[in-house]
Chains A and B, each alone.
Chain A
Amino acid sequence: MFKRIVHSKGLGSAVALFIVLLILPPLVPRFYVYILALIYVTSLLAMSLNMVVGHGGMFQFHHAVFYGVGAYTVALVLTKTSLPMWIGFIAGPIVAAITGLIIGWFCVRLTRLYFAMLQISLGSLIWAIVFRWYSFTGGDDGIHGIPMPSLLSSLNNSYYFILIILVICLIMMYMILKSPFGNALQAIRDNPQRCEAVGINVRRYQLLGIVIATFFAGVAGVLFVVLERSVFADLLFWVFSLEIFIMCLLGGWFTFAGPILGAAIIMALRTFVGKYTEYWTLILGVILILVIFFLPEGVMGYFQEIFKPRTK
């Protein structure tokens, strides 16, 4: 009974929040609109990672690669070709998902630590190529001044676009997680051996989970380009991959919306702490240590524990 109230309250407050966020841009300074849009992009990225880590139980330690691939794909299509822009928008997630399929196919054959290591090495290879191929990818300069369709030329319009795509993606992710596939994925996380014994081809399901997650990471990459109009090699760097991991952990990786909270906290902190000191990395490290010691279930996990309805 209580759970149903919380659930409908949850849905109600989500809708209310959405409406508030929708009417925000004309009311607040430009800077906040920008920061919020950046939080949306990062939230989508963190949610996509959590699909394989929190719900799938895999050690996806270099997820940023797929984000970067999606961003670079759309950047390259928009700057190097004269194809219509929407093709770039669609190509981004697709190329990211294909990359996820290839890398994932090699990785799912291995167990956890080796999975992580192989992914880090394959991802680093891609990063190294992007970093050095100056003529094609801009090397360590990146690509700047990427043209956008006129509909998205203003910051506010970009904001709306990003927010709407984010919500659509979140709804899709929610449906997928509640579907039999999502169920199977979480069962695989908890006990892959048992799943094999009930007839589930664990590797195929894990691979499918990775492809879905990397698709959404690619979407996040495209949204990043919409917001920033540029790409750089740092998007594919392993340190960033671990930062996304931290966002999921901080928010609560066994919950649905935890990563969004984690991304919001980290991005907000980084922006505002950055005004006072240049030692954000130090503070991030301290936060991580605090989370490890005191909040291993993440912020959302902690609140769920407090508000858990008592079982009879």
Chain B
Amino acid sequence: MACGPVELICQLLVGLSRSMILFVVCAGLSFVLGVLRVPNIAHGSLYMIGAFATFSLTKIFPGSTGFWIALIVAPLLVAVVSLIAERALFCHLYQREHLMLLLFTFALSLILGDLVKIVWGAEYRSVSAPALLKGSVSILGASFPRYNLFLIVIGPLVAIALWLFTNKTKIGKISRAAAVDREMVGVLGINVSWVFAAAFVIGCYLAGVGGALVAPTVSITLGMDHTLIIEAFLIVTIGGLGNMWGALVGSLIFGVTHSFGVLFWPQFAIVFPYMAVVIVLLLRPKGLLKSVW
């Protein structure tokens, strides 16, 4: 494999675009983790639903518009699913110990995983990118997919949007307060249960966004949830629990090391990011950035 500077830069950019999808999903996971203090194992399943829903929507609305509609509607669908799960079952567990909440999210992931199988079947699906983002551009003489550029741009936009939300809007600020001291928030007369519901739904919405964004770049299959949730967990842990910027840092580390793995040792590409995670955790077991609690 030729490894000149051009290849390196291209691979770096590929890694970057992959990181952005991971970031969108992990930002959601981190947000839920920060407010509810529970790692949401169902996050991967919701991501998968986002991808499959995107597929269906592009079939219903053919052509490029299908994708743009899906980008808006699929995450909303995911948000609705998460809201139903939260109001029907999850909210009754808030008084219980955290292990029970974690196990509930695991049960939810099992159920949603099979629901996807029931609704969409077990075949591979694929989605093509909209006309605007099809094809590639030339970067330093090498061709680079336009869609990946789009992802590199979207990532920071989501980060800014989320930052504005948590720092400038009322709900956002209350969520941040609840992450640090939920009792205090309750004492102030705010319905903590609704804060949790909002945080959970928003986090899951982001998972849906990630699913929609990833749809044109991979084959949409049934194992997506499992692969993703482990990666997301690890990213959130090395970044610092509940910390959005930590999720960004973690995603970058993960995506970029994976890309370099592909370049230098394709057979064991997946080992590179895991190794990086292990190294980070051995040196800084609490994560690189400060956790929200």
Contacts and interface: CB of A to CB of B under 8 A. Distances in A.
A118 B230 contact: no
B271 A128 contact: yes
A128 B258 CA distance: 13
Interface string B124-150: 000000000000000000000000000
Interface string A278-299: 1101101110110011001000
Contacts of A286: 107, 111
A139 to B, nearest CB: 9
Contacts of A249: 103
A106 interface: yes
B107 A288 contact: yes
B92 A114 contact: no
B285 interface: yes
A129 interface: yes
A122 interface: yes
B42 to A, nearest CB: 10
Nearest to A131: B270
Contact of B274 (A121, A245, A281): A121
B234 A132 contact: no
A232 to B, nearest CB: 15
Interface in A93-132: 106, 109-110, 113-114, 117-118, 120-122, 124-125, 128-129, 131-132
A132 B241 CA distance: 30
Chain A residues touching B, range = 35 or more
Contacts of A282: 110-111, 113-115, 118
B29 interface: no
A285 B107 contact: yes
B281 A281 contact: no
A122 B278 contact: yes
B237 A292 contact: no
Contact of A121 (B115, B117, B271, B281): B281
Interface in B232-272: 233-234, 237, 241, 267-268, 270-271
Contacts of A281: 110-111, 113-114
B89 interface: yes
A246 interface: yes
A239 interface: yes
Interface centre among A106, A246, A284, A289 (most CB of B within 10 A): A289
Contact of B268 (A129, A245, A279): A129
B267 to A, nearest CB: 6
B225 to A, nearest CB: 10
Interface string A225-240: 0000000000001110
Contacts of A285: 106-111, 114
B234 A296 contact: no
A113 B242 CA distance: 13
A148 interface: no
B218 interface: no
Interface of B: 89, 92-93, 96, 99-100, 103-104, 106-111, 113-115, 117-118, 226, 230, 233-234, 237, 241, 267-268, 270-271, 274-275, 277-278, 281-282, 285-286
16 contacts: A109-B285, A117-B234, A118-B282, A118-B285, A121-B237, A125-B271, A129-B271, A132-B270, A237-B226, A238-B230, A281-B111, A285-B111, A285-B114, A286-B111, A288-B106, A289-B104
